[in-house]
Amino acid sequence: MTKRIILYVVGLNLIAVAVVLNIRYATGVAAFSSVMYAISEIYGISLGTASILCYLIFVLLQCILSRKITLTYVLEIPLSFAFGFLTDFYDFLIPELNFSLFFRGIFFILTMFITAMGVFLCVKTDLVLTPTDGIVNTISEVFHIPFSTVKNVFDISLVAVSAILCLANQTSFYGIGIGTVLSAVFLGRIIKIYELHIPIFKQAK
């Protein structure tokens, strides 16, 4: 159990770092963080605060869809705040990165692997899902649709919501770019590679 907790915390930190790095590269944020970033920029609140708000909405939607309140859902609430604080911490810590477009593209690809590892660790430790994964899992269970299918549709939906928010507020399309598309297409595939080649959780029960 101790090993699982440590790996889970590492996973959360990797996701938070990756979210901030993607913003710094300016090639498009990951699909799952697109709404958070758009809200942050449009309404002038911190990225962490926007993350907390989105996560709490996802928790509420899980309760509504499943028509129940479980311990798992309740535990996602403090997790939402923890992730928000982590995001703000790394947003403060990581400086602006002035790389050429070529190197920003290379580093973005590397960061996708960091993001995927973070998600992989958080999901496979089987503790508490992040609300973005939790809502996907709930939709999958309630409507009997494969998790991977729901994940793809949900990611696209988040990008669409981001675009609508930007249009409604007559602003730039914050965070939406080629990187957003790449993350939506390849993030799940990278996680699958980790699942096939990293057997650490067979000994971590």
What is the chain written as a DSSP string?
Answer: -HHHHHHHHHHHHHHHHHHHHHHHHTS---GGGHHHHHHHHHHT--HHHHHHHHHHHHHHHHHHHHTS--HHHHHHHHHHHHHHHHHHHHHHHSPP----HHHHHHHHHHHHHHHHHHHHHHHHTTS---HHHHHHHHHHHHHT--HHHHHHHHHHHHHHHHHHHHHHTT---TT-SHHHHHHHHHHHHHHHHHHHH--GGGS--
Residue at token pair 């309740």:
74
Note the pLDDT of residue 20: 92
Give yes or no for a contact between 17 and 115, defined as CB atoms under 8 angstroms apart: no
Distance (Å, rounded) from C-alpha 136 to C-alpha 129? 10
pLDDT tens-digit readout, 114-169? 998 998 898 888 888 889 989 988 999 999 988 778 888 888 899 899 999 999 99
Q: Which pLDDT band, with edges at 50, 70 and 90, does 100 fall under?
A: confident
Each residue's pLDDT tens digit, 49-99 = 999 999 999 999 999 999 999 998 999 999 999 999 999 999 999 998 888
Position 105 confidence tier, pLDDT thresholds 50, 70, 90: confident
Q: Which two tokens stand for residue 45?
A: 């609140």
Alpha carbon 202 to chain centroid distance? Answer: 25
Report which residue type is found at 89: F
Distance CA 199, CA 195 (A): 7
